[in-house]
Amino acid sequence: MNAIISASELASDLAGANPPVLLDVRWQLSMARAAGAPSFDGRAEYAAGHIPGAVFVDLDRELASAPGGGGRHPLPDIAEFGAAMRRAGVSSGRPVVVYDGGQGWAAARAWWLLRWTGHPDVRVLDGGLPHWEGPLSTDLPAPAPGDFVPAPGAAGLLDADAAAALARSGVLLDARAGERYRGEVEPIDPVGGHIPGALSAPTTDNVAADGRFLPAEELRARFKTLGAADGSEVGAYCGSGVSAAHEVLALAVAGIPAALYVGSWSEWSSDPQRPVAVGPDPQ
């Protein structure tokens, strides 16, 4: 099963006998709040217009726990996550399609969580809402409760120690912008730099100019140059486990399984005992 779906395919599926559950996860990493300006309001964007039948999912409240020692977007409480998904109508026997405003990070976070907790059929709308050609709705759907009960997998998740080990034994990809990886700037976390041994692999290189993923063969070629091929163990991290989910999704499109370090740099850099590398050299 492909991890992404085109807008035309989604329109066809919505008109079919078993239409997918639609989740709208519009969210943006914004520095506006720190500057005293209003932060991005995904719920307001959803209310102004969404794909008909889509249910809004709040990334900060339903796809993550409160910020703390585990990072800015630690894993959600699994029982609360399951309850949120059931309220949205998610069931194990019905496909799910997730979309966001186009960046793909938030949708990928929802995709990863649902897959990691056992949902068998989840896809992300390639390119997000900007590529939807159908009408938008301001109606607020009231879906019948779903039956999805999350069962977290044993694989696919890294903690700080496992991420450090993978950077030595396999391939650990840093999904942030190159200047943050190199430690030239750090607008959010305590220090700049990267996990020693990690390779710079910005998510911006996963997509074309229109925001849609590059073809699978191009993604495979990209990741092969980074060492992610031939059965190597692969993981990804970012600032707080959101854009790295997009990296894991791109790897899935390329046919390469990968694990996610959810705590990411926001957790790693909060502990002064953990080593930090700077500059373009992984070490």
Task: Give the three-class secondary structure for 24.
Answer: strand
Give the max Cα distance, the chain.
55
Q: Which helix (H) or strand (E) holds 161?
A: helix 160-169
Residue 44 class from Cβ within 10 Å (0-12 exposed, 13-18 middle, 19+ buried)? exposed
Cα distances (Å, whole numbers) of residue 3 to 104, 132, 148, 198, 216? 12, 17, 19, 25, 11
Q: What are phi and psi of 238, to 5 degrees?
A: -150, -135
The amino acid occupying position 50 is H
DSSP-assigned letter for residue 15? T
| Catalytic residue selected from 57, 173, 238, 249 | 238
Given a contact cutoff of 8 angstroms between Cβ atoms, the answer to whether 20 and 53 are in contact is no
Nearest to 84 by CA among 39, 104, 114: 114
Q: Please confirm, yes or no, whether 238 is among the known catalytic residues.
A: yes
Residue 233 and residue 172: Cα distance in Å, rounded? 9
Nearest to 156 by CA among 256, 41, 47, 225: 256
Given a contact cutoff of 8 angstroms between Cβ atoms, the answer to whether 170 and 118 are in contact is no
For residue 55, the cross-strand partners are 23
Which are the catalytic amino acids?
238
